[in-house]
Amino acid sequence: MLNALWIVLLGMAIIFAVLGILLLVMILLSKLLKPREKQEKKG
Amino acid sequence: MDLATGEFLGFLNLSWQAVAMLVIGGVLMWLGIAKKVEPVLLVPIGFGCMLANIPLGGAAEAGGFLAVLREAGIHTEIFPLLIFIGIGAMIDFEPFLQRPYTIFLGAAAQFGIFGTFFLAYLLGDGWLHVLDFSLKDAASIGIIGSADGPTSIYVATILQSKYTAAIVVAAYSYMAMVPIIQPPIIKAMCSKEERALKMPSVAGTISQRTKILFPIITVLVVGLVAPKATPLIGCLMFGNLLRACGVVERLSLAAQNELANIVTILLGITVGGMMSGTEFLRPETILVFMLGIVAFSLNTVAGVLLGKLMSVLSGRKINPMIGACGISAFPMSSRVVQKLGLEANPYNHLLMHAAGANVAGQIASVVAGGVMLMLVPMFI
């Protein structure tokens, strides 16, 4: 039973961690891309 | 001539299990055709069920065409992966990319998978021993909560659950029942004022470059952290890249139409072919179906709870109901939330906000499947 509890806790923690990292990467990417896209529009 | 009529007349070999399964197959086809409940899936599943249970027909026995399809498409996990290419090509991730915070609603709504897994394991080998549920079976039953047929098939097959057929049928049929399961839970958890809460529209569109990079980055991040999810997320995002890149429209359309349709036909009839009476008709099957409802309900509760928290933290700029869309049943749960929002306030259009959480749930459910595949073998 303790094994199952560990799977529940670890499982939810990993899901939030993976998706949190994905969110951070996407935010970082949008910050990096925005200036370049603005420049492209000006050009 | 000594005719052993029992050896070639099917009706002389009808068992009560076969009769019951023929009725179940008929009900599935009736639901699909007469009631329009997920007809694309229930019609082939119902027909496959009928074929598999005709005595002496041999369609689902070793060497029969349904058994060959099962071996080639389900046991190799090819069918669910090919379906995912089609699904990826069909999904527009723009509503999610405009509201990236919804990814956490998707994450929270996967609690149903793990909560149901825990419950199933307690009923089985974990504590009460009243049912024949091993750790692998419990994990496969929990994955019904992914509200995602291909993920359910993929996980249950890899974990070699005894209840794969029941799990797959439950996963697909409950997706169609989202408009029945979710509204009472949402109404019980959200007051009318909360349901009437309007959300500000999102300004601007997502650039083509972001849309192209999103599937690639998602595969890299998810694959590197939870590698067991790589085949599922890889196929989903490959389909999406075909759509987003804009230079292979022919392939994108083929993935959305021909590929998805052909594999749906094969998958549906094969899943139906897995529903043989002797394997399907046991008390555990009924429990699997009941636990499926628990999984969908827990998903909704967890999503709405995080939605409420985010609503408070955002100064009431987020309608907590969109948390229910973290369940990946796309687009059914988005439509449910849109309808409930309009009922509470005729000017409250939540569809695009809900769709953001809904496609985030699609990604989260695939990650959850991969995480389950990663953790279960570690604890056996």
Q: What is the pLDDT of residues B211-248, one digit of tens each?
A: 999 999 999 999 999 899 999 999 999 999 999 999 99
ipTM: 0.89
Looking at residue B328, its pLDDT comes to: 81
* Helix ranges restricted to H, B177-318: 178-189, 192-195, 208-225, 230-245, 249-254, 260-273, 277-280, 283-313
Q: Do B121 and A4 touch (CB under 8 A)?
A: yes
Among B114, B291, B363, B373, most A C-beta atoms within 10 A, so best to mutate, is B114
Residue of A nearest to B99 (CA): A23
Chain A residues touching residue B217 (CB < 8 angstroms): 22, 25-26, 29
Of B122, B138, B372, the CB nearest to A11: B372
pLDDT (mean) for B37-61? 90
Looking at residue B177, its pLDDT comes to: 80
Count of the separate structural domains present in chain A: 1
Q: How many CA atoms lie within 13 A of A35 on its CB side?
A: 3
B131 has a pLDDT exceeding 90: no
Q: How far is A43 from chain B (nearest CA, A)?
A: 17
Looking at residue B245, its pLDDT comes to: 96
Task: Output the DSSP codes for B9-63.
Answer: -GGGG--HHHHHHHHHHHHHHHHHHTS-SSHHHHHHHHHHHHHHTSTT--SSSTT
Question: Tokens 């009736």 identify what position?
Answer: B30
Among A5, A22, A25, A29, most B C-beta atoms within 10 A, so best to mutate, is A22
Q: How confident is the model at residue B42 (pLDDT cuts 50, 70, 90)?
A: confident
Q: Which domain holds residue A35?
A: 1-43
B21 has a pLDDT exceeding 90: yes
Chain A residues touching residue B367 (CB < 8 angstroms): 14-15, 18-19
Q: Which residue has the higher pLDDT, B284 or A36?
A: B284
B1 has a pLDDT exceeding 80: no
User: How far is the C-alpha of B364 from the C-alpha of A23, rounded, in Å?
Assistant: 12
Looking at residue B347, its pLDDT comes to: 92
Percent of chain B with pLDDT over 70: 98
Chain B residues touching residue A26 (CB < 8 angstroms): 97, 100, 210, 214, 217
Of B114, B138, B360, the CB nearest to A11: B114
pLDDT (mean) for B15-30? 93
Looking at residue B201, its pLDDT comes to: 85
Of A15, A21, A29, the CB nearest to B110: A15
Looking at residue A33, its pLDDT comes to: 73
Cβ contact B323:B308 at 8 Å: yes
Looking at residue B4, its pLDDT comes to: 61
User: How far is the C-alpha of B171 from the C-alpha of B194, rounded, in Å?
Assistant: 30
B314 has a pLDDT exceeding 70: yes
- Cis peptide leading into B331, omega within 30 of 0? yes
Using the 8-state DSSP alphabet, how is residue B163 labeled?
T
pLDDT (mean) for A1-29? 93
B208–A contact, CB cutoff 8 A: no
B135–A contact, CB cutoff 8 A: yes
Q: Do B100 and A15 touch (CB under 8 A)?
A: no
Of A7, A15, A17, the CB nearest to B376: A7
B5 has a pLDDT exceeding 80: no
B369–A contact, CB cutoff 8 A: no
Cα B361–B270–B143 angle (5° rounding)?
Answer: 30
pLDDT (mean) for B273-295? 89
Q: Do B100 and A26 touch (CB under 8 A)?
A: yes
pLDDT (mean) for B203-214? 87
